[in-house]
Amino acid sequence: MHPNLERFNLRRSDAVLTKTIVDSQLQENETALAKDNLEDRATVIVTQKIEALDKMDVYYKQTNQDLKRKLREMITAWDSEKQMMESKVKGERQVWEAERQEWQARVSNFRDKHEQLERDHQALKEELENTKSLMHKAGLGIRLPIRNVRELTDGDVDQRSSLSLPPSRGESVQF
């Protein structure tokens, strides 16, 4: 081979070798840059996700606080309404109990009056029988036509019970 040609080949080999080395260094640099880019991109993505999660965390914490506050307000409102209803029921129960006692007193009073009227009625019947018997024995039979005899009304009974009755036989009168 020719010495110039050899040099040329050497130079060419050097150039190829240099070019190959430079290409490989470039490729390594590009790979390193790509790795750095990939790592930077991954870091950016992770950072964005962390920021999004932080925002969501803040939102959920605020929402949780709001819900707890609303729950406390509702419980307070419910307690006050419950107390109001209990006091209303207690008041109604007291009114009902007072009315029930009043009606029981009225029933007892009416029962007592009825029993007294029954005793007075029985006493008057006995007195009437005694009077009839005495008049019959004495021969003073009084006859009244049936149209003049009428049944006593409640007003007549009340009026008669308010008047003092004359003493019947055997009873002593004190003045």
Say if CB 161 and CB 120 are below 8 A apart.
Answer: yes
Q: What is the pLDDT of residues 121-133, one digit of tens each?
A: 999 999 888 888 8
CA–CA dist 19, 72 (Å, integer): 77
CA–CA dist 39, 34 (Å, integer): 8
pTM: 0.39
CA–CA dist 74, 68 (Å, integer): 10
Q: Render each residue's pLDDT in the chain as its tens digit; 175 residues.
A: 555 545 445 455 555 556 666 667 667 767 766 666 667 777 888 888 888 888 899 999 999 999 999 999 999 999 999 999 999 999 999 999 999 999 999 999 999 999 999 999 999 999 888 888 887 777 666 666 666 666 667 776 666 555 555 555 545 444 3
CA–CA dist 75, 88 (Å, integer): 20
